[in-house]
Amino acid sequence: MEASKETVNAIHGILKNYIQAYANKDLEGIMKLFVKDPDLVAIGAGRDEWVKGSENLKKGFHRDMSQADEINMDFEDITVSSSGNVAWLSAHMSMNVKVGKEDITMFGRLSLVFEERNHEWLISHLHFSVPDEQEDGQSYPV
């Protein structure tokens, strides 16, 4: 369902805060954007990046931030939908990271699920994936 303009603006604001918190390596700032639930799930691009619960999410973000000198993100093709107190976002995402002398760009896809609690939207689910290397028009990387 199409989200209201108010909801879209709120979600875009959270995305802006997410980008800024990552760039500033503000661990507490990024954690404020998420629910503090034990069943929160966040899935990253690495094989071991499937975490459950706020404390494990915090450890994952700490790892991300400690292993990079700079982290910058950009989003395109953002869609926001909602129903009641739940909203979801999908976007193309690029993550530009400097690790030592190496510049790395990861192109991926991001899905976020939000829940409105006490008139505040919070992220309750995150999934970032990097597409496999198959040719356009092909379903499998053969």
pTM of the model: 0.93
Would the pLDDT of 141 be above 90?
no
pLDDT value at residue 17 = 98
Q: Which domains does the chain have, with CATH numbers?
A: 5-129 (3.10.450.50)
Residue 1: exposure state from Cβ atoms within 10 A (0-12, 13-18, ≥19): exposed
Quick: pLDDT tens for 60-88: 999 999 999 999 999 999 999 999 999 99
pLDDT value at residue 131 = 86
Confidence of residue 136 (pLDDT cuts 50, 70, 90): confident
How many Å from the N-terminal Cα to the C-terminal Cα in the chain? 36
